[in-house]
Amino acid sequence: MDFYVLLGLEQTASPADIKRAYRRLSRRYHPGINPGDRTAESLFRRIAEAYETLVDPERRREYDLAGGHAASRGSGDTFEFSGFDFSFAARGSEAATFSELFADVLHPPASFDRAGAQVGSDLHASLSVSFEESMRGVERQVVVTRQVSCSACHGLGHVPTPEGRCAHCQGTGKVRWARGHMVFSKSCATCGGTGRQRAEGCSVCAGYGRGVRSEAIPVQVPPGAHDGARLRVPERGNAGQRGGRNGDLYVEVRVQPHPLFRRDGDDIFLVVPVAVHEAVLGARIEVPSPDGPVKLKVPAGTQAGQRFRMSGRGAPGGAAGRGDLIVEVKLVLPEIVGERSKELMREFGRLNGEDVRRW
């Protein structure tokens, strides 16, 4: 599309006119004002390209000499001229500039038909919790910047008015544009071609129906949430248009690693050091669990690497119940201090001389 048309300017526009047009369009289409709106983001990039070309005298001169072909290659936009009236020449107040001719193509008037309601786009965020918080559940807040419904028009983009003649088309149901001897006409979008005005655009949001606001949104992390869990907060995404439903907020849970526990599904694994005499003779030892310390019976003759399953001591699994705590034994050799200890180990070896290296 022609850069001058895109910015709503004449080819004779001054640098100050170009800057004013760019600022005006930036305030409307900037991605920061329209988060998640890909159409606005794409249009903003084209507006920025047009501004950078036309505000630079050398680049503007080259663009003008090329006849605007650079913009045509990048745009790919086409417009249909069906329904236009070429029957008479326009003069005086009916005559319009070329940019005015396409003003409604670039910025179509707001339609106040509630049937055109659009659902707001979804938003995404992440939330970090500790291992303990993921086990018991916790409520946290995430701060998001979202589009919210205009408080003046409740997101409709218009306010009710007494029914009367449409001011935009003067009650004819059609609007006209003119360029020299060409006159174009089409159905009035403001009144839907009826010629009657039932509502007028909201002055607070300029008919857009939405504004931008940062909010701290509470998120309930359920007990047993695993790393990478995706939580949905209904209707806390971007506000819908023309009375449409809000989008949703999706929050990804990040669980911080724990120094002792390792989770696999709903089961939790724990490596516990056990002394040689406890493994040989058996013992009752205290081991940590997500619920606090619990007692574990280590039977006599326990080997290194042997695992014990403690049912229902793992992570909460919702309707499936809780997982298990799986304890793996790690034998810890004692430090031999003094001759007496050495002699006892030699005596132990003589009494239990079984060959442990069986190839």
Q: Inform me whether the pLDDT recorded for 100 exceeds 50.
A: no
| CB neighbourhood size of 158 (10 A) | 21
CA distance 52 to 19: 10
Q: Please tell me whether residues 231 and 344 are part of one structural domain.
A: no
Q: Please tell me whether residues 137 and 218 are part of one structural domain.
A: yes
Phi, psi of 158 (to 5 degrees): -150, 165
CA distance 57 to 51: 11
| Cα dist from 162 to 165, 166, 224, whole Å | 10, 11, 57
Percent above pLDDT 70 for the chain: 79
Note the pTM of the prediction, 2 decimals: 0.55
Specify if 92 maps to a domain.
Answer: yes
Interacting residues of 67 by C-beta distance below 8 A, sequence separation 6+: none
Q: Which residues pair with 310 in a beta bridge?
A: 325
CATH number, domain of 179, equals 2.10.230
Mean pLDDT of the chain: 80
Specify if 32 maps to a domain.
Answer: yes
CATH number, domain of 128, equals 2.60.260.20
Interacting residues of 264 by C-beta distance below 8 A, sequence separation 6+: none
Q: Please tell me whether residues 95 and 181 are part of one structural domain.
A: yes
Q: Please tell me whether residues 72 and 87 are part of one structural domain.
A: no
Q: Inform me whether the pLDDT recorded for 336 exceeds 60.
A: yes
Q: Inform me whether the pLDDT recorded for 142 exceeds 80.
A: yes
Range of the domain at 333: 262-351
**Tell me: the pLDDT tens digits for 226-281?**
999 999 999 999 988 777 889 999 999 999 999 999 999 999 999 999 999 999 99
Matching residue, tokens 């003046």: 152
pLDDT of 182: 61
Q: How many domains does the chain have?
A: 4
Specify if 284 maps to a domain.
Answer: yes
**Tell me: the pLDDT tens digits for 48-73?**
888 989 999 888 888 888 766 553 33
Q: Please tell me whether residues 274 and 346 are part of one structural domain.
A: yes
Specify if 141 maps to a domain.
Answer: yes
CATH number, domain of 9, equals 1.10.287.110
Q: Please tell me whether residues 243 and 228 are part of one structural domain.
A: yes
Q: Please tell me whether residues 215 and 315 are part of one structural domain.
A: no
Residue 112's pLDDT band (boundaries 50, 70, 90)?
Answer: very low
Specify if 356 maps to a domain.
Answer: no
Q: Inform me whether the pLDDT recorded for 315 exceeds 50.
A: yes
Q: Inform me whether the pLDDT recorded for 109 exceeds 50.
A: no
Which ranges constitute the DSSP H helices of the chain?
3-7, 15-29, 38-55, 57-65, 69-75, 98-101, 103-106, 131-136, 276-281, 338-351
Specify if 151 maps to a domain.
Answer: no
Specify if 335 maps to a domain.
Answer: yes
